[in-house]
């Protein structure tokens, strides 16, 4: 007589388990949600290694978000094979950034194609790597900032992903002004600065963020901000589905010694 009750219970629990497992799939960025941009239209581009919120008005992404796992961060394949293949993104309406827009900007303005989601974070998969080179994952970025302090921060992120198993990263441009410098015929926006937000969950959740000007090249410790600060500066809300209890614990502190 207990048999059918047992079966019912087991079926129910199994269903519950399936539901719980799929819950993270149903909401973006593993349940944390994509950044919220108010009063601006953004086209969401879902790629294997990252998701971008692209602004057709600015011709650059407003945010790029991804989950960086230890496995992905440790992938050994060189970014030089397959060959780097920067290219415009046909998924996005014209006018859009082209290689010609960036060409010459390096000599004239010392600007380079700055990955938002780094190629090195996408080495774990050929398709992910290839998609990291789409121009919708780029912003015109000062060459020294790009290969200097920003690269150092990106390396730290990969080390933290290995240490903690996984981290969540959101990177994008800072747009202080109403009018921006642009490059090329398609008027690709040159952002005034950049932000990066790194979140870790697990037993001891923490968040650290950076804000810098496009051209800064100091020690990256000078540019550390809290989640609250970077949200105030950018006007974006990050990880909107993050448990408010966790958010309250981590939003007003950012110290590298906690990592």
Partner DNA sequence: CGGCATTGTAAA
Partner DNA sequence: TTTACAATGCCG
Question: In this complex, which beta carbon is closest to DNA, that of residue 149 or of residue 250?
Answer: 149
Which range, of 26-34, 63-71, 104-112, 230-238, touches DNA by CB under 7 A?
A: 104-112
At 35, which helix (H) or strand (E)? none
The answer to whether residue 30 forms part of the interface with DNA (CB under 7 A) is no
Q: Binding DNA by CB under 7 A: which of 106, 222, 241, 255?
A: 106
Q: Which of residues 192-211 bind DNA (CB under 7 A)?
A: none
DSSP string, 90-151: TTSPSS---HHHHTTHHHHH-EEEEESS-GGGGTT-HHHHHHHTBGGGEEEEEHHHIIIIIH
Question: In this complex, which beta carbon is closest to DNA, that of residue 73 or of residue 227?
Answer: 73
Question: In this complex, which beta carbon is closest to DNA, that of residue 84 or of residue 185?
Answer: 84
Question: In this complex, which beta carbon is closest to DNA, that of residue 95 or of residue 215?
Answer: 215
Work out how close the CB of 37 gets to DNA at its nearest, in angstroms, rounded to a whole number.
23
DSSP string, 221-259: GGGEE-HHHHHHHH--B-STTS-HHHHHHHTT---GGG-
Work out how close the CB of 110 gets to DNA at its nearest, in angstroms, rounded to a whole number.
9
The answer to whether residue 94 forms part of the interface with DNA (CB under 7 A) is no
Q: Binding DNA by CB under 7 A: which of 10, 12, 24, 84?
A: 84
The interface mask with DNA, positions 42-81, x = CB under 7 A, is ------------------------------------xxx-
Contacts for 78-87: CB closer than 8 Å, 24+ residues apart = 78/123, 79/119, 79/120, 79/123, 79/129, 82/126, 82/129, 82/130, 84/119, 84/133, 85/130, 85/133, 86/113, 86/133, 86/135, 86/138, 87/133, 87/134, 87/135
Q: Which of residues 112-151 bind DNA (CB under 7 A)?
A: 112-115, 118-120, 138, 141, 143-144, 146-149, 151
Q: Which residues bind DNA (CB under 7 A)?
A: 78-80, 83-86, 102-107, 112-115, 118-120, 138, 141, 143-144, 146-149, 151-152, 154-155, 217
């Amino acid at each position: 007589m207990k048999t059918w009750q047992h079966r019912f219970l087991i079926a129910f629990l199994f269903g519950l388990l399936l539901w719980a497992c799929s819950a993270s799939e149903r909401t973006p960025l593993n349940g944390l949600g994509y950044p919220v941009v108010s009063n601006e239209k953004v086209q969401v581009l879902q790629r294997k290694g990252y998701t971008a919120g692209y602004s057709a008005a600015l011709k650059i992404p407003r945010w790029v978000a991804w989950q960086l796992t230890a496995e992905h961060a440790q992938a050994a394949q060189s970014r030089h094979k397959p060959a780097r293949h920067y290219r415009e993104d046909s998924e996005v309406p014209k006018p859009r950034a082209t290689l010609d827009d960036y060409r010459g900007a390096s000599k004239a303005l010392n600007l380079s194609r700055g990955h938002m989601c780094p190629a090195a974070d996408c080495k774990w998969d050929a398709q992910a790597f290839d998609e990291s080179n789409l121009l919708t994952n780029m912003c015109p970025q000062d060459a020294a900032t790009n290969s200097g302090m920003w690269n150092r921060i990106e390396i730290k992120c990969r080390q933290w992903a290995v240490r903690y198993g996984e981290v969540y990263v959101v990177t994008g441009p800072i747009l202080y002004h109403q009018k921006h410098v642009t490059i090329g015929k398609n008027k690709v926006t040159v952002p005034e600065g950049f932000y990066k937000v790194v979140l870790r969950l697990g037993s001891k959740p923490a968040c650290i963020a950076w804000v810098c000007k496009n051209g800064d090249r100091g020690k990256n410790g000078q540019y550390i901000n809290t989640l609250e600060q970077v949200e105030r500066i950018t006007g974006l809300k990050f990880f909107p589905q993050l448990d408010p209890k966790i958010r309250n614990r981590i939003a007003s502190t950012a110290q590298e010694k906690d990592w």
